[in-house]
Each structure stands twice: as C-alpha cells, then as structure tokens.
Amino acid sequence: MVAVEFTSAFANPSGSPIRELFPYLSKPGLISFAGGYPSPSLFDVEGLMDAGRRVFDDPAAALQYGATEGMPALREALAQLSVVRGISCEPDQVLVTTGSQQAFDLLVRIFVEPGTPVYLETPAYPAAIQALRLAGAAIHESPVDADGLDVERLAQQLEEAAPADRPKLLYTVPSFSNPCGTLLPQSRREALVDLALRYGFFIVEDDPYGELSFDDAGVPPLYATGQNRAGEDNPVLYLSSLSKTVAPALRVGWLLAPPDVRRRCAIAKQTSDLCTAPVAQLMAAHYLNSGRYPANLGRTCAEYQRRMSAMVQALRDEAPDTLKFVEPRGGMFLWVEFEQKMDMSRLFQSAVENGVLYVPGAAFYPLGGRDQAMRLSYATPTVEQIQEGARRLGRALAGVAVPS
C-alpha cells in the first residue's frame, strides 16, 4: 500500500462549513435559510437562452481555448459595467476569472506565504477564511459593527501592531457584506483607503452584492474611492462576479488590479484552469450587451427587498425578545445575534428537527471563541417559505436558552 503524505496545509484540512450543511438539504420539507444562492425564479432564462444561441454564431471562438486574461467581448462588457458602477476602467484592466472566489485565490497565491499577516473583517466570509488558512496566513481579525468594518478600531490595531504584524492584505466586503449585510459609509471608505496608503497594504474588496441595493442605498465601490484619492497608486484590488446578479452557473468573475498584480494573477491562473470557459464568457458578454441586465437587476432588487422585509417581520413576530439584528439595506443576508446565551449545538439540532436550516455563527470567526449568532439568507425561499421557516425557528428557539 502506498504511504501517503499530504502537504502540511492538506494533512487535516477543514472543508467549507456551509457546503458541509448540504446533507441536511435532503430532509423532506426542509426550508433552508443557509445557502447564499440567488433565487432561481429571478434568473432571466429567456435572455440567457437567447445569449446562449448567439454564442454559436462563432462556434470556433466559443469552443476553442481562449486568452487567460479573458475574451475581448467580455472584458469590454465588464469594463462598461464597471463604469456604470462608478469605476474608471478600460477593457485591458480586466482579468476574467472563474468566479470571484478564483480571483481571491489567485491573490492569495501571489501575496501570501506561511506566516504572512492578513487582516480579515470579522465576522467574515467562510471561503475567504478557508483560503487564507490553507495558505498558512497569520490571520488577524478586524471587527465589524452595524456600519461595516470598524475603521476607527482598525486604525488603532494598525498603530498598536508591530511592523512585522501589519497586514500585506486586508479583506473586506464593504457593500451588503456576507454575512452581516452591512454597508460601509463613504466616510469610512475614504478613511480605509487613507490607512492603506499610510501603512502600505492592499485592500481586497470583494463586491458580488453591491448592485443588490434596496431604495438606492448603494455607494460607489471602494475601488472608486481609491481611484479618487490615490490615482494610479490605488491600494484597492477589486473582485466582482455575475453569480449573484445573472447566474452562478456561468462562473464569471473578474479582477481589477495594477498591471504587475494582474500579470502575476494571470500566470497563476494559467496553472489552474488556463482560461475561464469561453462559452460562458461569450454568453455573459452577449447577455450584458443585450440591454436586459438593468431591468432584471431592478426586478431582483425589488423582490429581495420584499423577502427581506418578510423575514424581518416574521422574526419579530416569532421571537421578539430573543433575537437582535440590523435590517439590511441590500444584498442577500441577515445576521442575527441572541439576546441571551444559547446552547448552539442544541439549537441547531432543534432547528433541523423542526425543518429549518441556517448557518451557525461560529463558521464566520476565523479564530473561534464566538458562536452566539446565525446567518440567514432570504434570497432563495419565497415569502411564504420565509414566514413558515420563521415559525419553525421560533419553535426551535423555545427552551434552548442557557440559564444565566
């Protein structure tokens, strides 16, 4: 028998805490608030089918290998989309990736070695935690409050840290974050860019949700703030994706970064998947150029706001003295904390027994020690399912509090 020795990072790796919830989804009648999945009912199927047909107007381009940096048609369309978001952008500044998660993985590969200090807004997106752990990063938590990353507290952290412990990268989801749904105000964005310039680190801005804004609550991406304050020395590296606004199956993401960073990411991508699937890229380009995207995005935002309001009201009705949360102004998630200490293991099992699923809060803390929270997504379930799921969650909460 072969004696297997894995690398140290994969000797005993932890999988995605969200993906590990998948077996529960086979329970008949279960209502899931767990996955960050967009609603299938909001996919523009007609528009995507038409885009798919148009891809094969040029079958050689669709079915052949493509440039690692991305198909010209898609880079042009994504540059135009970036301009709409408030970013000054040319097509050759866009690196197309297989989802924004690949873009983050490429940045980790070119910047992070074992022991490299990286600051992570916390609670944090679990896949970012997972990528940094596998790279051996020295993770430092930077707390989030109701307005997103607490930049004043971060400034204190940076001032008190030894030079060797200051970050090379800081990861943040400033617009309708995962998991908290917070929106970083413009004043904090400006202060954060100033800190990055002062202390010499890159800000990794992950922006899959920024366009999912309710009542025009959004602000321009942090990358735009960096352009305005620093010009060519912009310290923000921008990641985004069509997964939450068009369709996850396209696996189309992109990266905006300085040429030296972009070039190294392209080389790293060559050893990963060579190029993002040209069929998917051309389909995305045709769809973005069709003119259908803005209207469907508006319909999606309106429906998510309706579902969010239903979840907030249902939780207030079912557990008014047990749960606390800030009503999000966009995105797909509601971060819920408890007014009194809960036995989180018992609560999760009780929720599953009652037919409702959520992501326990411990999954979002890289250094552990905190678990008195849960992430709920209102994007996929219908309003009726949200209301019934909240009733089930209320039943699960009954009698689970830990006596003080």
What pLDDT does 196 receive? 98
Q: Which of 14-28, 150-164, 212-226, 315-329 bottoms out in mean pLDDT, i.e. has the lowest? A: 14-28
**CATH class, 48-289 region:** alpha beta
pLDDT bucket at 3, cuts 50 / 70 / 90: confident
pLDDT digits (tens, 9 = 90+) for 271-299: 999 999 999 999 999 999 999 999 999 99
Q: Is the pLDDT of residue 396 over 90?
A: yes
pLDDT above 90 as % of the chain: 88
pLDDT digits (tens, 9 = 90+) for 338-383: 998 999 999 999 999 999 999 999 999 999 878 999 999 999 999 9
CA dist 38 and 155 (Å) reads 35
What pLDDT does 27 receive? 79
Phi, psi of 192 (to 5 degrees): -65, -45
What pLDDT does 403 receive? 63
What pLDDT does 318 receive? 94
Paired tokens of 245: 């606004």
Domain locations along the chain: 14-44+295-397, 48-289
Paired tokens of 359: 């992501």
CA dist 2 and 300 (Å) reads 52
Q: Is the pLDDT of residue 147 over 70?
A: yes
Element (H, E) at 140: strand 138-145
pLDDT digits (tens, 9 = 90+) for 208-263: 999 999 987 678 999 999 999 999 999 999 999 999 999 999 999 999 999 999 99
What pLDDT does 151 receive? 98
Burial class (CB in 10 A: 0-12, 13-18, 19+), 222: buried
Neighbours of 165 (CB within 10 A): 13
Residue among 57, 58, 97, 56 nearest 74 (CA):
97
Q: Is the pLDDT of residue 404 over 70?
A: no
375 near 358, Cβ under 8 Å? Answer: yes
217 near 186, Cβ under 8 Å? Answer: no
Q: Which residue type occupies 224?
A: A
Q: Is the pLDDT of residue 191 over 80?
A: yes
What pLDDT does 217 receive? 67
Q: pTM of the predicted model, to two decimals?
A: 0.95
372 near 342, Cβ under 8 Å? Answer: yes
What pLDDT does 13 receive? 80
Q: What is the mean pLDDT of residues 83-112?
A: 97
Bond before 123 cis per omega within 30 degrees:
yes
Q: What is the mean pLDDT of the chain?
A: 95
pLDDT digits (tens, 9 = 90+) for 8-54: 888 788 777 766 776 777 778 999 999 889 999 999 999 999 999 99
Q: What is the mean pLDDT of residues 71-90?
A: 97
CA dist 48 and 298 (Å) reads 17
Q: Is the pLDDT of residue 93 over 80?
A: yes
**CATH class, 14-44+295-397 region:** alpha beta
Paired tokens of 126: 């679990």
